[in-house]
Amino acid sequence: MGKRIEGKEIAKTYRENIKSLIEEKVSKGIRRPSMVAVLVGNDGGSISYMKNQQKLSESLGVKYTSIVLDESITEEELIKNINELNEDTNVDGIILQLPLPKQFDEKKVTSSISYKKDIDGLTDVNIGLLYKGDKCFIPCTAKSVIEIIKFVEPNIEGKKAVVIGRSNIVGKPAAQLLLNENATVTICHSRTKNLKDVCKEADILVAAMGRPGFVTKDFVKEGAVVIDVGTTMVEGKIKGDVVYDEVIDIASHLTPVPGGVGAMTTTMLIKNTCEAWEKNVR
């Protein structure tokens, strides 16, 4: 029987450190860190995520502001709003809630965010820095994945890692982060041949497909660390990509859904905000 990885317990240490850092600097007369979330429209998932952001931000001493714009706003007006935030020296971090309504060029709008305030790590500059191996803001879910892996498996070097999924916000950056730790990395996707056989060689398996219940015990090597990034709503409940009850008997460690990677993601967003704040208030 493998061990369940509790994302909240891992996040707890980060949160304590963040709060201590903020209070120490505030006691010296430095203003609190400030994060602004921008939402276009009324996507339910984004609204829920923003509520979680606000709750955690305020509990840790971060000023949180949400800007909700009507879906009828033009792309030019949205970018103008973002540019105003870029120029505001009292704003440390900006997160644009995705997905945007279909009429917007998501890549263009995202790239209008200053890379110095891009706490979700989605601008072209930060993505480029990530793949160069330089200091940058890393997409929060991918950052959560690597921090959880390092918590249970400190020595990643030389391990075989397989990432199922090639999205720009999870799969690709998670693979790059594993590569930066000197793992031997394979990225799989819907067209990968002999997918089960490839996955079964992995010492570390990251499932980030968005296909609930896809990864069964037949995909998993005995003693592997398995990270389930999937969050699909099925009959009113959030389901992961991994069949938990099967895989927990094979894996050495496994993240649950919910309570695993998702529990870390907002904490990583606040951590990125504080890193931007420290540079901004020097």
- Residues 132-168: tens digit of each pLDDT: 989 999 999 999 999 999 999 999 999 999 999 999 8
Higher pLDDT, residue 257 or 233: 257
Q: Is 13 known as a binding-site position?
A: no
CATH 3.30.70.260 fits 140-262, yes or no: no
Q: Is 184 known as a binding-site position?
A: no
pLDDT band at residue 281, thresholds of 50, 70 and 90?
A: confident
- Residues 21-47: tens digit of each pLDDT: 999 999 999 999 999 999 999 888 788
pLDDT of residue 177: 97
Q: Is 121 known as a binding-site position?
A: no
CATH homologous superfamily of 29-118: Leucine Dehydrogenase, chain A, domain 1 (3.40.50.10860)
pLDDT of residue 237: 87
Residues 6+ apart with CB under 8 A from 211: 230, 232, 241
Domain ranges of the chain: 29-118, 140-262
Within this chain, domains 29-118 and 140-262 share the same CATH topology: yes
Distances (CA, A) of 59 to 31, 51, 129: 16, 12, 31
Checking if the pLDDT of 282 tops 80, the result is no
Q: Is 166 known as a binding-site position?
A: yes
| Span 250-265, average pLDDT | 95
pLDDT band at residue 199, thresholds of 50, 70 and 90?
A: very high
Q: What is the mean pLDDT of the chain?
A: 95
Q: How far apart are CA 224 and CA 37, in angstroms?
A: 37
pLDDT of residue 43: 84
